[in-house]
Structure 1
Amino acid sequence: MKSSLPALLVVLALTFAAPLHAATPATTAFVNVSVLPMDTERVLKNQTVVVTGDRIVRLGDSGTTAVPADARKIDGTGKFLLPGLGEMHGHNPPLGSSPEYIRQIFFLFVANGVTTFRGMQGWPGQLELRDLVNSGAITGPALYLAGPAFTGNGPAATRSPAAAEARVREQKAEGWDLLKVLPGLKRDVYDAMAKTADEVGIRFSGHVPTDVGLVHAIERRQETVDHLDGTIEYLGAETAPVDATKLAAMVKILRDSGTLMVPTMPLWETIIGSAELAPMLAYPELRYMPRAEVERWKTGYERRLADPKFSAARARQIAANRKIVLKALVDGGVTILFGTDAPQQFSVPGFSVVREMQANVEAGLTPYQVLQSATKNVGDYLKAKDTFGLVAPGHRADLLLLDANPLQTIGHLEQRSGVMLRGRWLPESELQAGLAQIAAAQAAPAK
């Protein structure tokens, strides 16, 4: 059964609820703006985009598109409007987090243009948190949540097919959006989970357990493979270059099956130990995270590198091969969903977006392909839930207004004029004020 609303979330709603609707005009119009609709790689110049409530209702040439007299007008001269971004492998703040920390994490996502979020680690109370965020009581991206993970490890392990079947039915009844797969599941348990998921109509995504393997996960219709999990193992490319023939075969299997891939490139370099610690410690966005958490990231990474079993050469080989795999997937027509796996291990919510996108470009993707993975592809993936992902009439009014064209340089995503979140306009001045508050709170002496 769906758990009753925890007292913590009641406090959160009462403390941080924002007067969204009373202060927001019914209609907003972006005028004289260049639009990146993201249906194809194009820029529509001198456009007017009219938003009423949480929907885009009109898009057309500014010279001919009518704007209601009572609409708030936002001058888009010299600016670029594109759909809000999706984070398809994120994590809600962990169980036991303070109301303030929960508010901060969701604001960090929104302040960087993330308007849709797929949470990949469920815990009690998240369904109620989803309701609070999606209703606008808490400022945050639209939440779509996986339930508590199916893992073969630790005290929460699912160890039998019967337990897997029961757990799938339970999570479906509770209202989770999908199931999350973690490492360690035995194949018979995984198969029971997959079979029952098909029966009750809930999808499953995440890791590829070793006992399952990439091909079998595809055969059982795992919807997304996150972190490119299982690909390096399938290719036998942990300590050697990628075999081109095997790579082509793998790409064909993934494309033909319709399996979606979520790369999380920089985060995985941290996980495997190929990233350099000093540059990560210099990330300016660390000022928005609790100092104790950053210290845990640092000491955890140092322990990883000090492990006698750690091989720097192996880590570098895997990192290099992952870039080759990602480029081949895109070239071969496999659909990519954008994700960064924030917050964790130097992946700061929202700020991880540009780092991930830059890593994708370094792997050989074009800025348009990367942006498509975070907009149109996300909307296609979640089309049964809502209509969004394009700048087009009828789509949810999740929008990002920039001062420069990200199709030219992906780093232009950092040059924001503001974010529209389900029809609520958040100018950059408001976003920066919120970020400054978070930074000040993290810099304050611990209580």
Structure 2
Amino acid sequence: MKKLLLLFVAACASLACAAQDMLVQNVHIIDVESGQILRDQSILVQEGKITAVFPKASPPRNIPTNITKTDAKGAFAHPGLAEMHSHIPPASAEGDFSYTQDILWLYIANGILNVRGMMGHPSHLELKGKVASGEIISPRLFAAGPSLNGGSVQSPEHGAQMVREQKAGGFDHLKLHPGLDMPRFLAIANTAKEEGIIFGGHVSLDVGLANSLQHGYKSVEHMDGYIEALVADKSKLDPQVAGAFSMMALPYADMSKIPELVQMTLDSKAWIAPTLTLFERFFGYIPADQFRLEPDMKYLPGVQIQQWVNQKKLLENQGMLREEIVKPYLEFRQKMLLALHTAGVPILMSSDSPQVFNVPGFSIHNEIKSMHEAGMEPVEILKSGSANIARYFGQDGHYGVIKSGAAADFVLVSGNPLEDLSRLKNIEGLMLRGQWISKEKIQSELKRIEEKNVRR
């Protein structure tokens, strides 16, 4: 596809410009809600909002004559992707956000415009402030607070206190990890409802999926708890026997109960963050030495990649990642996701990054491929990373759609991604809350990050 004709002033030729008014012409818009493509459209952006979407043959009369115009040359526009299970790096001990900014640019470079942090740190509140002020360029951020787990929560009273503190501090979400018993879990859940902060995460064994859903889980991360809920003999769930995420307990799962669990999830109005690619790469049977050679790894420090190699090889050496063990488990995860999705349980695009062999941004494209292989249709996959995000946070129509009145968030790609999802990687430029980021700027940032992490 020809390079976009960008009629910018020279100062903005290769840099991400501050929010500006712009008319994007000759673009095909993907409506993720209807699945339709609106061809030969124009998008008018003013003061960070989409103020008009119209056929190029029927422009409104009130378009400013001096507005910057961009000829998209027939690119396809979608509302952006999301990473709803990110481990956003905290600031360094000295308060430096340089590494965090690199990770945020990796997301942007892959068309990800919304990120939910699920490994909270106090510095994330400062980060959100810097993003809001324009000091740091970033996807829209939602920050969960520090982990609530069996080690961090000392008592029910302490759990309730932590919830109140995180809400008062300005976190958007609570993240629960394993190890909670029922008294501590109930204290967290009840206080979260009182304080008006959403919560979700892993499912503690002593709590179980049913209690997690019935007491208010907004999102279930990794589809955690579903295998455990299918196993009647709870002795098979001993972590020393069942392994990570109870994958070794799969032979004891009663698959006839899947419809019951799906209905329970649907009734509770919970959401699913599947992270298929995490399990395929971290807990899959493809060896660590194969993943370490992938091109995406060049964007992260060598020491981090080596840590990932060591983590996966530990499981390999224990014999836990043999194909005959792992393949049925991965197939179950695809089956479980499709059953939930088909029933109408809403899905959140998520991969878990940065995490073992999940390079931020790039891992979402792996996740998209896996979601499609599981049976999800392309438009539903796109919706899981756009309109669903706004709906999850109770902000329908504010972003995640390309419509008048919504935030000016969209990505231009060459080729129709509904025909081939890999075309989502063919980014020709993007609009981030009214701030245009050119293809040249994206390539420049990727080159900078790559050079920073050259193995010496």
Q: Normalized against structure 1, the TM-score is what?
A: 0.90
SS of the residue corresponding to residue 335 of structure 2 reads helix
Q: Which residue of 1 aligns with 2:267?
A: 256
Match of 1:63 in 2: 57
Q: 2:103 aligns with which of 100, 105, 110?
A: 105
The answer as to 2:183 corresponding to 1:188 is yes
Aligned-pair CA distance for 1:315: 2.6
- Mapping 1:133-282, distance limit 5 Å: 133-153=131-151, 157-236=152-231, 238-240=249-251, 243-282=254-293
User: Conserved in 2, the CA contact under 8 Å of 1:81 and 1:400?
Assistant: yes
Q: In 2, distance between residues paired with 1:386 and 1:177?
A: 19
Instruction: Tell me whether 1:357 sits opposite 2:368 in the alignment.
Output: yes
Change (3 A) 1:386 1:47: closer
**2:418 maps to which of 407, 421, 432:** 407
The alpha-carbon distance between structure 1 residues 47 and 123, as it changes in their structure 2 partners (threshold 3 A), is: same
**Correspondence for 1:50:** 44
- Of the structure 1 ranges 63-72 and 20-29, higher mean CA displacement relative to structure 2 is found in 20-29
Match of 1:285 among 291, 296, 299: 296
2:329 aligned residue (307, 318, 323): 318
The one-letter code of the counterpart of 1:247 is I
Evaluate the alpha carbon distance shift between residue 99 and residue 257 of structure 1 in structure 2; reply closer, same or farther with a 3 A threshold. Answer: closer
Q: CA deviation at 1:284?
A: 0.8
| Amino acid corresponding to residue 46 of structure 2 in structure 1 | T
Write out per-residue CA displacement over residues 407-441 of structure 1, whole angstroms, 9 at most, x where no aligned residue: 11111101110111111111111101110111011
* SS of match in other structure, 1:35: strand
- Is the 2:221–2:272 contact (alpha carbons within 8 Å) kept by the matching residues of 1? yes
- Is this contact kept in 1: 2:52–2:403, CA < 8 A? yes
Q: Assess, with a 3 A threshold, how the Cα gap between structure 1 residues 22 and 123 changes in structure 2: closer, same or farther.
A: closer
Q: CA deviation at 1:384?
A: 4.2
* Residue of structure 1 in register with 2:23 after alignment: 29
Return closer, same or farther for 1:391/1:312 CA change in 2, 3 Å cut-off: same
Find the partner of 1:81 among 57, 77, 82.
77
Give the count of matched residue pairs. Answer: 425
Q: Classify the secondary structure of the residue corresponding to 1:32.
A: strand
Higher mean displacement: 181-190 or 379-388:
379-388
Provide structure 2 residue ranges, at least 5 long, that are not aligned to the other structure. 1-11, 232-246
Amino acid at match of 1:284: P
Counterpart-to-counterpart distance in 2, 1:386 and 1:193: 31
1: distance between equivalents of 2:417 and 2:298? 26
Q: TM-score by structure 2 length? A: 0.89
Match for 1:93 among 64, 89, 101? Answer: 89
Q: Does structure 2 conserve the Cα–Cα contact (< 8 Å) formed by 1:379 and 1:388?
A: yes
Whether the 8 Å CA contact 1:273–1:304 is kept in 2: the answer is: no
Determine if contact 1:241/1:317 at 8 Å carries over to the other structure: no
Give 1:76 deviation, angstroms.
2.1
Alpha-carbon contact 2:285-2:322 (below 8 Å) kept: no
Structure 1 385/91 Cα, relative in aligned 2: closer, same or farther at 3 Å? farther
Q: Deviations over 1:103-131 (max 9, x none)?
A: 21111111111111110111122101111
Give 2:238's aligned residue: none
Q: Which residue of 1 aligns with 2:126?
A: 128
Paired residue type of 2:157: A
- CA distance 1:286–1:308, shift in 2 (3 Å): closer
Would the aligned equivalents of 1:379 and 1:389 in 2 still touch at CA under 8 Å? yes
What displacement does 1:210 show? 0.8
Partner SS state of residue 22, structure 2: strand
* TM-superposed deviation, 1:37: 2.3
Cα 1:183–1:270, aligned 2, differ >3 Å: closer, same or farther?
Answer: farther
CA separation of 1:246 and 1:41: change in aligned 2, threshold 3 A: same
The equivalent residue for 1:15 is: none
State the alpha-carbon separation in 2 of the partners of residues 54 and 37 from structure 1: 20
Query: Which residue of 367, 379, 382 corresponds with 2:390?
Result: 379
The answer (yes or no) to whether the contact 1:25–1:72 under 8 Å persists in 2 is: no
Query: 2:348 touches 2:389 (CA, 8 Å); kept in 1?
Result: yes
What residue number does 1:3 align with? none
Matched residues in 1 for 2:348 and 2:16: separation?
35
CA contact (8 A) 1:232 1:322 kept: no
Query: What per-residue deviation string (whole Å, max 9, x for no partner) do you get for residues 312-337 of structure 1?
Result: 53332221100110111111111001
Once residues 408 and 414 of structure 1 are traced to their aligned partners in structure 2, the CA distance between those partners, rounded to angstroms, is: 13
Q: SS where residue 89 of structure 2 aligns?
A: coil
Alpha-carbon distance in 1 for matches of 2:294, 2:133? 33
- 1:331 equivalenced with 2:342 (yes/no): yes
Whether 1:426 aligns to 2:437 is yes
Contact residue 401 and residue 418 of structure 1 kept, 8 A: yes
Which residue type is aligned with residue 262 of structure 2?
A: V
Structure 1 residue aligned with 2:112, among 111, 114, 120?
Answer: 114
What is the Cα deviation at residue 260 of structure 1?
Answer: 0.2
SS in 2 for 1:73: strand
- Partner SS, residue 151 of structure 1: coil
Change (3 A) 1:413 1:22: closer
Give 1:306 shift.
1.2
